Amino acid sequence: MEATEVSVDAPRRRRTGRTIGLIAVAAVLGLVGGTAVGYGIQAEREPTPLPALNQPDLAYPKPLPKGQAPVALPASEDRRAKTDGDLRKLLVPKPAGAKPTGFDDADGWQTVPSYAREFDNPGSALNYQLGNDVRRIATTSWRTGLFGTTSVTLVQYRPSDFDGARDHAESQMDYMPDKDYARSEGEPIKGSANGRYYVFPVEREAGYLDRYQARAYFHRGDIMAVIFMFDTKKISANDIRSVAEKQLGRL
């Protein structure tokens, strides 16, 4: 074979490299030897007994002294106990003398697809509710007078970082000032963080009875409430406000 020519420009290894390697080997040998001696000394000692595992002082968290433990809330004051029960029982009761409308779903429950069909774009509304982790929907309605009807719906969402109840309520209130709806910002519902009720302008059309409408939206915890009122005679602000405040009180 021909000898390979080495360029004078090729890098060279430093001469100190071998010395550093020898020192490192000596250090490792010293460490291994010291470790072996240490193990030998430890092996000749008597074993130290371990502490008992059932020591009462290790309990955590430590119980509070007798008489200082918090008293559990009664079911009437525990909001979680109320909202995790039968949602239909939280619906405001029908007023005395009211008649059924025949619009309610079976047993007061409403399916999510049925609720979505009440919107202009049912497909989009269904995707919105499912995306917000809707849990269940309860509804009731009644008729007063000849044509007056009222419906109350509670939409409950599963706990998550996204507040579905609040988002749904606020998204509905956002378009209430539009000309095709209440044309106003509405009035606040007493006791609610941001709930509002709305009295719509009368709708008149030749050959038909006048149509009046009022709505209310609010949320409390993981439940969003919507109230609709329709009639052929004027609906007062007190009519819708009264139902909204009663429903809010039950939540």
pLDDT tens digits, one per residue of 1-52: 444 443 333 333 334 444 334 334 444 444 445 555 455 556 566 677 766 6
Q: Could you tell me where the DSSP H helices lie in 53-143?
A: 79-83, 112-116, 122-131
pLDDT tens digits, one per residue of 96-114: 999 988 776 568 999 999 9
Give the whole-angstrom CA distance, residue 85 versus residue 251: 12
pLDDT tens digits, one per residue of 162-203: 899 999 999 999 999 999 999 999 999 999 989 999 999 999
Domain count, the chain: 1
Q: Does the pTM exceed 0.75?
A: no
Chain-centre distance of CA 163, in angstroms?
Answer: 4
Residue 6 lies in a domain: no
Residue 131 lies in a domain: yes
Residue 163 lies in a domain: yes
Residue 87 lies in a domain: no
Parent domain of 168: 97-250
CATH of the domain at 167: 2.60.120
Residue 39 lies in a domain: no
Residue 134 lies in a domain: yes
Residue 159 lies in a domain: yes
Residue 215 lies in a domain: yes
CA distances from 74 to 78, 89, 179 (A): 6, 17, 47
